[in-house]
Amino acid sequence: MIIENTSIDGLFILKPTIFRDKRGYFTESYNQKKMNDLIENINFVQDNDSKSVFGTVRGLHFQTPPFSQTKLIRCIKGEILDVTVDLRKNSTSFGQIERVLLSDKNNHQLFIPKGFAHGFSVLSNFAIVSYKVDNYYNSEYENGILWNDSSLGIDWKLKAHEVIVSEKDKSLPHLNNIVSPF
């Protein structure tokens, strides 16, 4: 497994070793010991999957302490543009975004530590996204940022008429209207 730094400290792209032959491929998608050795000790407690159609934008979501979450994201079918926003108040990259293409072709994963808002857009006919989290979901601690906040200038790689967003995500606040708990 190769760990690649992004432009934001603490946010990593994981590139697993893939063994291909005429039958297909084999890859180790997760190994606790390697994760602990390469990044930090993480105890993932929940796995989540979502299936979404082309044009779907999910996010930008985060949970506040004490239910904040470290995430390990991968796209097991299709292609997504994964987007994070640094919400760590003392970070030199506060408010900075990072965009990473995740797909069933590149098998890359994105490691997102606590203190980030997260979302993605679906660029293929549909996508299945799988993610590990190190804390349980709690709706009372759920929060987010408006997906099309103009101050962030996120290019989701979709045309305006293609975007599908939940009503809940349409009502999230702008970044400048939240007080970061991180």
Is-above-0.85 flag for pTM? yes
- Residue 20 inside a domain? The answer is no
- Exposure string of 95-110, with b = 16+ CB inside 10 Å and e = fewer, is eebbebbbbeebbbbb
Please write the tens of the pLDDT for every residue from 74-128.
999 999 999 999 999 999 999 999 999 999 999 999 999 999 999 999 999 999 9
Q: What's the pLDDT score for residue 24?
A: 93
- Residue 25 inside a domain? The answer is no
Would the pLDDT of 2 be above 90?
A: no
Total domains in the chain come to: 1
- Residue 18 inside a domain? The answer is no
* Domain assignment of residue 83, given as a range: 7-13+42-177
How is residue 97 written in tokens?
Answer: 């975004």
- Residue 46 inside a domain? The answer is yes
Q: What is d(CA 148, CA 163) in angstroms, rounded to the nearest whole number?
A: 11
- DSSP characters over 14-52: EE--EEEETTEEEE----HHHHHHHT------EEEEEEE
Mean pLDDT across the stretch 132-136? Answer: 97
Please write the tens of the pLDDT for every residue from 18-77.
999 999 989 988 888 888 887 878 999 999 999 999 999 999 999 999 999 999 999 999
- Residue 155 inside a domain? The answer is yes
SS3 label, residue 170: helix
- What's the distance, CA 11 to chain centroid? 10
CATH value at residue 47: 2.60.120.10
Catalytic residue IDs: 61, 131
Prior bond to 66 cis, omega within 30?
yes
- Residue 90 inside a domain? The answer is yes
Q: What's the pLDDT score for residue 37?
A: 83
Would the pLDDT of 175 be above 80?
A: yes
- Residue 83 inside a domain? The answer is yes
Please write the tens of the pLDDT for every residue from 62-76.
999 999 999 999 999
Average pLDDT over all residues of the chain: 95
